[in-house]
Structure 1
Amino acid sequence: MSQTIAPRVRTLLLLLLAVTGALLAGAAPVSAHAALTGSDPQQGAVVDEAPAQVSLTFSEQVAMSDDSVRVLDPKGKRVDTGKTSGQGGNSYTVKLHSGLPDGTFTVTYQVVSADSHPVSGAFTFSIGAPSKTSVAVSGQEVGGGVVGGLYGFARYLSYAGFILLVGGSAFVLACWQRGTGVQAVQRLVVSGWLALTGATLAMLMLRGSYTGSGKVGDIFDLDLLSQVLQTKTGAALVSRLLLLAAAALFIAVLFGAYEKREDEEEKNDLTFGLAIGGFVVAAGLAATWAMAEHASTGLQTGVAMPVDVLHLLAVAVWLGGLSTLLVALYRAPSLEKSAVQRFSRVAFGSVAVLVVTGIYQSWRQLGSWSALTDTWYGQLLLIKVGLVVVLVGIAWVSRRWTARLAQAPARTPAKTSAKTSAKAPVKASVGASTPKTSKESKTPKGSKGSKGPKGTGGRTDQKEPASTGGGDGGSAGGGKRATQLARQRAAVTTTREKRLRNADPLRSGLRRSVLAEAGVAVVLLAVTTVLTSTEPGRTEEEAKAATATTSEQPGEALSLDIPFDTGSEDGKGIARVELDPARVGGNDMHVYVERPNGKAFDIPEVKVAFTLKAKDIGPLPVVPDRIATGHWTASGVQIPMAGTWQIAVTVRTSDIDQVTVDKNAQIG
Structure 2
Amino acid sequence: MRTTAPRPGPDLAGLGRLLLVVAALVAAGLGAVLATAAPAGAHAALTDSDPKRGAVVAKAPEQVSLTFSEKVAMSDGSVRVLDPAGKRADTGKTTDLGSTTYGVKLKPGLPDGTFTVAYQVVSADSHPIAGAFTFSIGAPSDTKVALPDQEVGGGLVGKLYDTARYLAYAGFIVVVGGAAFVLGCWPRGAGVRPLQRLVVSGWLALTGATLATLLLRAPYTGSGKLADAFDLAKLGDVLQTKTGAALVSRLLLLAAAALFIAVLFGAYDKREDPKEKRDLAFGLAVGGGVVAIGIAATWALAEHASTGIQAGLAMPVDVLHLIAVAVWLGGVVALLLCLYRAPLIDASAVRRFSAVAFGSVIALAATGLYQSWRQVGSWTALVETDYGQLLLIKIGLVVVLVGIASVSRRWTGRIIAEAGGLAPEAAATAVVEQRTGTVGAKNSAAAKSATTKATTAKGATTKKKPVAVAHSSKTGVAASVDTDDRADDRADGGKAGAKTGAKDGGDDKRAAQLARQRAAVDAAREKRVRDADPHRSGLRRSVLAEVGVAVVLLAVTTALTSTEPGRTEEEAKNAVSSAPRTAGPVKIKIPFDTGGQDGKGTVRLELDPGRTGSNDLHVYATRPNGSAFDIPEVKIAFTLKAKDVGPLPVAPDRIATGHWSASGVQIPMAGDWKVAVTVRTSDIDQVTLDKNVQIG
2:250 paired with 1:228: no
Output the amino acid matched with 2:359: G
Output the amino acid matched with 1:225: L
Output the amino acid matched with 1:508: S
For 1:130-529, list aligned pairs within 5 A: 130-136=140-146, 141-178=151-188, 181-408=191-418, 409-410=421-422, 412-414=424-426, 423-424=445-446, 477-529=506-558
Deviation at 1:138, TM superposition (A): 7.5
Hey, what's the Cα distance between the residues in 1 that align with 2:587 and 2:341? 60
Contact 2:376 2:565 in 1 (8 A): yes
Contact 2:53 2:579 in 1 (8 A): no
For 1:599-618, list aligned pairs within 5 A: none
Hey, what's the Cα distance between the residues in 2 that align with 1:315 and 1:139? 38
For 1:584-603, list aligned pairs within 5 A: none
Contact 2:91 2:106 in 1 (8 A): yes
SS of 2:54's equivalent? coil
Hey, what's the Cα distance between the residues in 2 that align with 1:558 and 1:256? 78
User: Structure 1 residues 424, 139: CA separation in 2 closer, same or farther (over 3 Å shift)?
Assistant: closer
| 1:540 equivalent in structure 2 | 569
Hey, what's the Cα distance between the residues in 1 that align with 2:194 and 2:571? 50
| 2:663 equivalent in structure 1 | none
Q: Which moved more, 1:213-222 or 1:328-337?
A: 213-222
Deviation at 1:410, TM superposition (A): 2.9
Hey, what's the Cα distance between the residues in 1 that align with 2:150 and 2:443? 73
Deviation at 1:191, TM superposition (A): 0.8
Deviation at 1:482, TM superposition (A): 4.0
Give aligned-pair identity as a percent. Answer: 68
Contact 1:50 1:100 in 2 (8 A): yes
1:425-454 per-position Cα deviation (integer Å, ceiling 9, x unaligned) = 89869x99xx9xxxxxxxxxxxxxxxxxxx
| 1:103 equivalent in structure 2 | 113
Deviation at 1:130, TM superposition (A): 1.1
Deviation at 1:32, TM superposition (A): 2.0
SS of 1:177's equivalent? coil
Hey, what's the Cα distance between the residues in 2 that align with 1:170 and 1:210? 34
Hey, what's the Cα distance between the residues in 1 that align with 2:309 and 2:167? 29
SS of 1:357's equivalent? helix
1:482-538 per-position Cα deviation (integer Å, ceiling 9, x unaligned) = 443333222212211211111111110000000001100000000000001000011
1:232-279 per-position Cα deviation (integer Å, ceiling 9, x unaligned) = 000000000000000111111111111111121111111111100100
Contact 2:84 2:143 in 1 (8 A): yes
Contact 1:32 1:535 in 2 (8 A): yes
User: Structure 1 residues 421, 666: CA separation in 2 closer, same or farther (over 3 Å shift)?
Assistant: closer
Deviation at 1:176, TM superposition (A): 0.4
Hey, what's the Cα distance between the residues in 1 that align with 2:46 and 2:196? 49
Match of 1:48 among 21, 46, 58: 58
Match of 2:83 among 65, 73, 98: 73
Q: Which moved more, 1:407-416 or 1:101-110?
A: 407-416
Hey, what's the Cα distance between the residues in 2 that align with 1:357 and 1:341? 25
Hey, what's the Cα distance between the residues in 1 that align with 2:521 and 2:197? 24
User: Structure 1 residues 415, 174: CA separation in 2 closer, same or farther (over 3 Å shift)?
Assistant: closer
Hey, what's the Cα distance between the residues in 2 that align with 1:23 and 1:82? 42
User: Structure 1 residues 60, 254: CA separation in 2 closer, same or farther (over 3 Å shift)?
Assistant: same
Q: Which moved more, 1:76-85 or 1:15-24?
A: 15-24
Hey, what's the Cα distance between the residues in 2 that align with 1:366 and 1:263? 53
Over aligned residue pairs, what C-alpha RMSD do you find?
Answer: 3.4
Contact 2:27 2:548 in 1 (8 A): no
SS of 2:41's equivalent? coil
Output the amino acid matched with 1:108: A
User: Structure 1 residues 102, 475: CA separation in 2 closer, same or farther (over 3 Å shift)?
Assistant: farther
Count the aligned residue pairs: 522
1:531-589 per-position Cα deviation (integer Å, ceiling 9, x unaligned) = 0100001111112222223447699x9999xxxxxxxxxxxxxxxxxxxxxx889xxxx
User: Structure 1 residues 181, 426: CA separation in 2 closer, same or farther (over 3 Å shift)?
Assistant: closer
Hey, what's the Cα distance between the residues in 2 that align with 1:495 and 1:220? 50
Contact 1:27 1:533 in 2 (8 A): no
User: Structure 1 residues 480, 257: CA separation in 2 closer, same or farther (over 3 Å shift)?
Assistant: farther
Contact 2:31 2:552 in 1 (8 A): no
User: Structure 1 residues 422, 36: CA separation in 2 closer, same or farther (over 3 Å shift)?
Assistant: closer
1:399-442 per-position Cα deviation (integer Å, ceiling 9, x unaligned) = 0000011112435452685965884289869x99xx9xxxxxxx
Contact 1:23 1:526 in 2 (8 A): no
Give unmatched runs, 5+ long, in structure 2: 1-20, 431-440, 458-497, 590-609, 613-670, 672-690
| 1:549 equivalent in structure 2 | 578
| 1:638 equivalent in structure 2 | none
Using the size of structure 1 for normalisation, the TM-score is 0.73
SS of 2:265's equivalent? helix
Q: Which moved more, 1:511-520 or 1:474-483?
A: 474-483
Output the amino acid matched with 1:545: N
For 1:565-576, list aligned pairs within 5 A: none
Deviation at 1:161, TM superposition (A): 0.3
Hey, what's the Cα distance between the residues in 2 that align with 1:140 and 1:129? 30
Output the amino acid matched with 1:54: V
1:139-176 per-position Cα deviation (integer Å, ceiling 9, x unaligned) = 87211110000101111000000000000000011100
Contact 2:387 2:560 in 1 (8 A): yes
User: Structure 1 residues 13, 394: CA separation in 2 closer, same or farther (over 3 Å shift)?
Assistant: closer
Hey, what's the Cα distance between the residues in 1 that align with 2:46 and 2:305? 20
Output the amino acid matched with 2:553: L
SS of 2:297's equivalent? helix
Contact 1:161 1:192 in 2 (8 A): yes
Deviation at 1:369, TM superposition (A): 1.1
Contact 2:447 2:522 in 1 (8 A): no
Contact 1:121 1:140 in 2 (8 A): no
Contact 1:120 1:140 in 2 (8 A): no
Output the amino acid matched with 1:164: V
SS of 2:188's equivalent? helix
Deviation at 1:481, TM superposition (A): 4.0
Hey, what's the Cα distance between the residues in 2 that align with 1:79 and 1:410? 84
Contact 2:54 2:580 in 1 (8 A): no
Output the amino acid matched with 1:322: V
Match of 2:73 among 57, 60, 63: 63
Output the amino acid matched with 1:201: L
SS of 1:201's equivalent? helix
Hey, what's the Cα distance between the residues in 2 that align with 1:85 and 1:426? 80
Hey, what's the Cα distance between the residues in 1 that align with 2:169 and 2:505? 52
Hey, what's the Cα distance between the residues in 2 that align with 1:528 and 1:211? 21
